[in-house]
Amino acid sequence: MSKLQSMQSAYMGRFAPSPTGPLHFGSLLTAVASYCDAKSQQGTWLVRIEDTDIPRIYPDSETHILHCLDAFEFEPDAEIIFQKDRLEIYEEVIYQLQQLNLVYACQCTRKMLGSNAIYAGTCRNLNLAFEHQAIRVRVNDQLICFEDRLQGQHCSNLAHDLGDFVLKRRDGIINYQLAVVVDDYLQGMTHVVRGADLLDNTERQIWLGQLLGYPRLQYMHLPLAMNAQGQKLSKQNLAQALDPAQAPQLLQQAIRALHQLPVDLDRPARMLQQAVAQWDVSRIPRATQLEQIYQ
Ligand code: GLU
């Protein structure tokens, strides 16, 4: 099988943390929901470490992620992959897009772009050489919509909302949008379960997938766990790192936060088994935020 060929199964799901900080309770919600959703449909569940943004990698967070997966007894169905080992693949896809004239080099600096959130297409027709420049993908003036399993219909016109967006930065870093689309395809993903903070990224990913001829995925964006200040839990907001020693208690709390039927306190693998057996998506709040406060 060529390395750009996809694997396939009826349900393929994943948990794809970025090691930009230790896992927190919000990450646990995604891990639990992606796992239970896949397993309750006899699916395959994989883990992928999204570590292309090297300057943002937080020391030891990769170790913490692996330690947590172990302590919470999450067993991926195949070996964990690390995106930093796959840079050649992403470069190859950029080359494919270049052959189709779907990407171009952009020399605009952050300073030149200013605070404008929508890229005006300044370098679109300049035909700049690709070396040492950012690479942007062309977008069209067209509405892209998808039906999220929890959030309902979500749409964006990328030309109006964003403009041509970056796939590779000037410093050579491959952007998350490209890596996620390529790996979801190559790993044969059918379903994406992740936090609602990524809802607005989805149209970009659908667009890229469409350009590359990849099949569409099913999306489910989970309500986010918020802190007392009304911010989503994140490293920036000083969310507490998951304590592997508290795995059963935290699992119980995560299952409750997803409004699932309670599970008995036991060893994590058995708790997960019970959560899978009881998994009911219709119980999860159809909102982008959970009401209860976490830390
Ligand atoms: N790596 C992303 C994050 O940690 C998640 C990517 C995804 O699930 O699509 O926020």
d(CA 180, CA 187): 10
The domain locations on the chain are 3-85+178-293, 87-168
HEC sequence for 78-96: CCCEEHHHHHHHHHHHHHH
**Residue 33 CA to ligand 1 centre (angstroms):** 14
pLDDT of 211 reads 98
**Residue 195 CA to ligand 1 centre (angstroms):** 8
Atom of ligand 1 nearest to the CA of 184: 9
Atom of ligand 1 nearest to the CA of 15: 8
What are the C-alpha distances in Å from 159 to residues 2, 35, 143, 181, 189?
A: 34, 35, 9, 19, 27
Helices 25-39 and 247-257: crossing angle in degrees, nearest 10, is 70
Residue 198 in contact with ligand 1 by CB distance below 6 A: yes
Class (C level, CATH) for 87-168: alpha beta
Task: End-to-end CA distance of the chain: give it in Å, rounded.
Answer: 45
pLDDT of 52 reads 96
pLDDT of 129 reads 96
Per-residue pLDDT of the chain in tens (295 residues, 90 and over written 9)? 455 666 656 999 999 999 999 999 999 999 999 999 999 999 999 999 999 999 999 989 999 999 999 999 999 999 999 999 999 999 999 999 999 999 999 999 888 887 778 999 999 999 999 999 999 999 999 999 999 999 999 999 999 999 999 999 999 999 999 999 999 999 999 999 999 999 999 999 999 999 999 999 999 999 999 999 999 998 888 889 999 999 999 999 999 999 999 999 999 999 999 999 999 999 999 999 999 989 8
Report the SS3 class of residue 285. coil
Residue 17 in contact with ligand 1 by CB distance below 6 A: yes
pLDDT of 8 reads 59
Tokens 């609602």 sit on residue: 196
pLDDT of 5 reads 65
Residue 221 in contact with ligand 1 by CB distance below 6 A: no
**Residue 283 CA to ligand 1 centre (angstroms):** 23
Asked, colleague to colleague, whether 3-85+178-293 and 87-168 share their fold, the answer is no
Atom of ligand 1 nearest to the CA of 17: 4
CATH superfamily of 3-85+178-293: HUPs (3.40.50.620)
> DSSP readout, 158-204?
HHHHT-SEEEE-TTSPBPHHHHHHHHHHHTT--EEEEEGGGGGGHHH
Residue 234 in contact with ligand 1 by CB distance below 6 A: no
Residue 18 in contact with ligand 1 by CB distance below 6 A: yes
Q: What is the pTM of this model?
A: 0.95
Report the SS3 class of residue 62. helix
d(CA 224, CA 221): 9
pLDDT of 59 reads 86
**Residue 232 CA to ligand 1 centre (angstroms):** 14
Q: Which of 190, 233, 176, 247 is nearest to 16 (CA)?
A: 176
